[in-house]
Amino acid sequence: GIETHLTNMLITPQDKNIRTIYRHTKTLKRKKKKKGKMLSRLFKAGEKVLLNLVNKKDLHMASRNQENSTPKVQELYNLCKDIFTGKAPSPASMAVQKLCSVLDSVSPADVGLEEEAQDDDRGYGVSGVSRFNRVGRWAQPITFLDIHECDTFTMCIFCFPTSSVIPLHDHPEMTVFSKILYGSLHVKAYDWVEPPCIISQDKGVPGSLPARLAKLAGDKVITPQSEIPVLYPKTGGNLHCFTALTPCAVLDILTPPYNESVGRSCSYYMDYPFSTFALEKGMKVEGKEDEYAWLVQIDTPDDLHMRPGSYTGPTIRV
């Protein structure tokens, strides 16, 4: 009422059509606002539809990419095939780095394995019914999974129960890459001292063969987060032993593979402290004496229990 009265007072008869224009303008604004809300709702609805379509397309593309992607184990095989031609005694450093990079990215699932429980009774004899009474009396067999073997390289997996051991052994003229897939593994490794330092049997060496001097190359625990260990024919710990601290699995690549017919047979050793035997006159060692040990070759240990298993990972296209 007051607003209308004031408007009538201010607007002359000639300008009364302004009120009509004003009302029309307000109506248009309301309609525009309403229309804007409708457009906004339509835009948001359209945006949701587009997002759904994009997400479905992305999922479809991801699914297709996953289907078309090369399995890690196949990628590993392809790389090994390219690198290990049999023409060179050891792979080049760049090739080693590339292979280590791919090998480091392999997970248990990539080779058909599930990570074992970290607390179990495998590898133990159990005394009584309580799990706290378990006694480390024996280790169950280590399972060997053959992935691929050819003239130039071998791909395989060793699955260790807790406390199981692969005794000290060598890899003559071989290069070996090892990836811990899960668990914790203690590794003790040696390299032969060159030129060879050998104590003959008549000096009281136990066992049936002479003792040869070796230098400690490593004594540590490795896990999936550890750097890929690489051993070479004369360096890097060519002789090593494994002890499983937990259930664990190791993916090994050996090049060239063991082959008794050409002198690449696996030999086992017992290590003795450096102080066990005296060096010949005039012979000296560099560094600390506790970095050295005498290795005596032995027969395959009776307590080495290994059984074949079935590889269940992706099939390799050769």
- The residue extents of the domains of the chain are 2-66, 72-308
pLDDT band, residue 252 (cuts 50/70/90): very high
Would the pLDDT of 67 be above 60? Answer: no
Per-residue model confidence as pLDDT tens digits over 188-198: 999 999 999 99
Which amino acid is located at 7 in the chain?
T
- Predicted confidence (pLDDT) at residue 11 exceeds the cutoff of 90: no
Bigger pLDDT: 277 vs 127: 277
Residues 6+ away with beta carbon under 8 Å from 33: none
What is the model's pTM?
0.72
Which residues, 6+ apart, have CB-to-CB distance to 292 below 8 Å?
A: 193, 213, 214, 215, 216, 274, 285
Window from 36-50, 105-119, 123-137 with minimum mean pLDDT? 123-137
Whether the predicted pLDDT of 281 surpasses 90 = no
Residue predicted with more confidence, 47 or 212: 212
pLDDT exceeds 80 at position 306: yes
Please report the pLDDT score of residue 125 as a whole number. Answer: 39
SS (H, E, C) the chain: CHHHHHHHHHCCHHHCHHHHHHHHHHHHHHHHHHHHHHHHHHHHHHHHHHHHHHHHHHHHHHHHHHHHCCCHHHHHHHHHHHHCCCCCCCCCHHHHHHHHHHHHCCCHHHHCCCCCCCCCCCCCEECCCCHHHEECCCCCCEEEEEEEECCCCEEEEEEECCCCEEEEECCCCCEEEEEEEECCEEEEEEEECCCCCEECHHHCCCCCCCEEEEEEEEEEEECCCCCCCEECCCCCCCEEEEEECCCEEEEEEEECCCEHHHCECCCEEEEEEHHHCCCCCCCCCCCCHHHEEEEEEECCCCCCCEEECCCCCCCCCC
Inter-residue contact 212 to 294 (CB < 8 Å):
yes
Which two three-digit tokens encode residue 187? 């590794």
Distance of CA 20 to the CA centre of its chain: 81
Fold of 72-308: Jelly Rolls (2.60.120)
Q: Region 124-151: what's the mean pLDDT?
A: 64
pLDDT band at 34; cut points 50, 70, 90:
low
The predicted pLDDT at position 278 comes to 84
Cβ count near 237 (within 10 Å): 22
User: Over the chain, what is the mean pLDDT?
Assistant: 81
